[in-house]
Amino acid sequence: MHYSDEFLREVLSSAKTIALVGASTNPARPSRMVGEFLVQKGYRVIGVNPGLAGKQMFGETVYADLASIPDQVDLVDIFRASDAVPGIVHDALTHLSGLQTIWMQLGVEHAQATQQAQAQGIKVVQDRCPKIEIARLGL
């Protein structure tokens, strides 16, 4: 997938609150490292992981699923296998009013879910890492 720097800059600059699906408490996991980086960059990061629901991570309560998040979410960052993407996108489109972007991490892609989100006016980024893109773009 090719995305212009302008598109990525706009996506990353407009997002304030990120739901990180697949959040982990293990400091060696990429989801943990990326979440901490995003917090350091000024984003509000809400972890989503059914096994950690109710615990604290990134200074926020972790939720079991996207439907449980009571607050506005601008961007959903997916740290799950590609086959989990359709369900996550469905939940995001169903439960997160005001959602701007679905972001799939490195190695994560799903054409049908992408089309479904884009058909509802949601921006989609596949197979990219926001930590890498923020550093590369100097944001």
DSSP string computed for 15-56 = --EEEEET--S-TTSHHHHHHHHHHHTT-EEEEE-GGGTTSE
pLDDT single digits (tens) 77-111: 999 999 999 999 999 999 999 999 999 999 999 99
Sheet holding 123-125, edge to edge: 44-48, 17-21, 75-78, 101-104, 123-125
pLDDT single digits (tens) 4-24: 999 999 999 999 999 999 999
Phi first, then psi, for residue 38 (nearest 5°) are -65, -40
Look-up: residue for tokens 């997938």?
Answer: 1
Cα gap 52→47, rounded to integer Å: 9
pTM (two decimals):
0.97
With a cut of 90, say whether residue 1 has pLDDT above it. Answer: no
Domains of the chain, start order: 5-137 (3.40.50.720)
pLDDT single digits (tens) 109-130: 999 999 999 999 999 999 999 9
